[in-house]
Amino acid sequence: MPPKKSVTQEKPIKQVQKVVVEEVSENEDSGDESEMSDDESDDDEDDDDEDESDDEVEDKKEAKEPKEKVKKQTHEEILVEIDNLNKENTQLDTDISELDKQITAKDKLRIANRKKVNKLYSLLSKAYIDGCNKARKEKTRRTNSARSGILREKPVPPVLIKFLKLPENDVKSQSKLFHLLNEEFKKRNLKQGQKTVLDKETAEIFGEKAGYTIEFKDHQGFLSRILNADKKNSNEVSL
């Protein structure tokens, strides 16, 4: 018998699985982290914005805005600008000084006005009493004048009683008689503008000739002559 071959059991070859290690770049990791942080920061900023006042938000906006670039200046330009600003400040100091003087003057005027007002208040009651007394005197004077002069009522002369057709022994003031006399002249059509021309009948009543003309300025004098003639006749009769 042939010798038995030793049977060697072959072990199965293990398949080694390749492990693929994906390299994650730091940028991508940091990007994710930054995205997360940005999201979180956005949430935080939203919360902060709610708590911040409008003024603070406005200040932040101004801070984010790009600052105006400073113009580069030469040595001479800087000196000129400094000189101009100093001159402007000098003028401002002068203006402020003038304003201070004006304020001081106006304040003095205000104080003086207040003193005058207080003085006038103290005189107010006395002036009111004086005004009442003056008005009372004026009223008395008007009452007395109404009883004298052309406002005083006197017996009407017979010639006027006849001409004006008034009751006997009637009394009238001179101003009232003047009005009635002119009205009667109008009724008789004797008025020619502002003057009066007497016809024959009217002229005979007053002892004048036909065509006698009474100018506007002489109307009061014409009436006064009638009244004075009657007064003279009354005095002669009484004698």
Which pair of structure tokens corresponds to residue 149? 């002069």
234 or 152: whose pLDDT is higher?
152
Give mean pLDDT, residues 220-235: 79
Are 73 and 81 spatial neighbours (Cβ–Cβ below 8 Å)?
A: yes
Helices (H) and strands (E) in the chain, counts: 7, 5
pLDDT at 13 over 90: no
Are 197 and 211 spatial neighbours (Cβ–Cβ below 8 Å)?
A: yes
Percent of the chain with pLDDT over 70: 63
Q: Sign of torsion, CA 4 5 6 12?
A: negative
Q: Which helix (H) or strand (E) holds 136?
A: helix 75-146
Which pair of structure tokens corresponds to residue 185? 């002249």
Give mean pLDDT, residues 45-54: 54
- When pLDDT is cut at 50, 70 and 90, the band that residue 51 belongs to is low
The pLDDT value recorded for residue 137 is: 80
Q: Among 1.10.245, 1.10.1200, 2.30.29, 1.10.1740, name the CATH number for the domain at 151-238.
A: 1.10.245
pLDDT at 6 over 80: no
The pLDDT value recorded for residue 96 is: 96
Are 190 and 199 spatial neighbours (Cβ–Cβ below 8 Å)?
A: yes
DSSP assignments along 32-88, one per residue: HHHHHHHHHHHHHHHHHHHHS-HHHHHHHHHHHSPPPPPPP--HHHHHHHHHHHHHH
Q: Sign of torsion, CA 109 111 114 115?
A: negative
- The alpha carbon of 7 is separated from its chain's Cα centroid by a whole number of angstroms, namely 130
- When pLDDT is cut at 50, 70 and 90, the band that residue 186 belongs to is very high
pLDDT at 26 over 90: no
pLDDT digits (tens, 9 = 90+) for 63-120: 666 666 777 889 999 999 999 999 999 999 999 999 999 999 999 999 999 999 888 8
Query: Which single residue is written with the structure tokens 């006064």?
Result: 224
* Count of other CB atoms within 10 angstroms of residue 52: 14
At residue 239, what is the residue type? L
pLDDT at 211 over 60: yes
Candidates 194, 171, 196, 174; CA nearest to 184 is 196
**Alpha-carbon span 121 to 134, nearest angstrom:** 20
Percent of the chain with pLDDT over 90: 36
pLDDT digits (tens, 9 = 90+) for 160-184: 999 999 998 899 888 899 999 999 9
Question: To the nearest whole number, what is the mean pLDDT of the chain?
Answer: 77
Percent of residues in the chain assigned helix, strand, coil, to nearest 5:
70, 5, 25
**Alpha-carbon span 144 to 155, nearest angstrom:** 19
- When pLDDT is cut at 50, 70 and 90, the band that residue 47 belongs to is low
Are 229 and 222 spatial neighbours (Cβ–Cβ below 8 Å)?
A: no
The pLDDT value recorded for residue 132 is: 85
